[in-house]
Amino acid sequence: MPRFMFDTNIISYTMKHPATSLAERYRLTPTSDSQVSTVVEAELRYGVARLPKEAKLHGLVDAALSSLNIAPWDSACARAHAAFRVQLQKLRRSMTYADSMIAAHAVALNLILVTNDFVFEDVPGLDVEFWAIEPGHSYR
């Protein structure tokens, strides 16, 4: 059963910085232990679609996506997203719609969201790990 859901920025980071400890940890995480949301797939595909002449980047994204379990965004995610957005509004927290969809997807599937973005920090009901933080370093 999967344990982690990878955010877009983690996958992007590992493609840009393949020789880092984060990229190594990502590569060593068994495929059976991780998933990405179709929302992440959409963000990655949009990113490369904006750069049609970057054939190498297109190949990297295609290779990354073909090696991942991609979880569909379904009705359970939509219900979790609705509740999640209401909670964010009550807390006066802002988040992009895509980020809130990814977070709600992780909540709906009871997965730990692995990210590089502190917008997810302290969000009610969301388990988050920040793998890009090196020991002894702060993100801020």
> What does the pLDDT read at residue 140?
42
Q: Which two tokens stand for residue 65?
A: 């996506």
**Structural domain count of the chain:** 1
Residue 113 included in any domain:
yes
Distance of alpha carbon 36 from alpha carbon 103, whole angstroms: 11
Distance of alpha carbon 83 from alpha carbon 86, whole angstroms: 5
- Counting as low any pLDDT under 50, the low residues of the chain are 136-140
What's the CATH number where 49 sits? 3.40.50.1010
Residue 59 included in any domain:
yes
- b/e string for 75-99 if b means 16 or more Cβ within 10 A? eebeebbeebbeebeeeeeebeeeb
40-76 pLDDT tens trace:
999 999 999 998 888 888 898 999 899 899 999 999 9
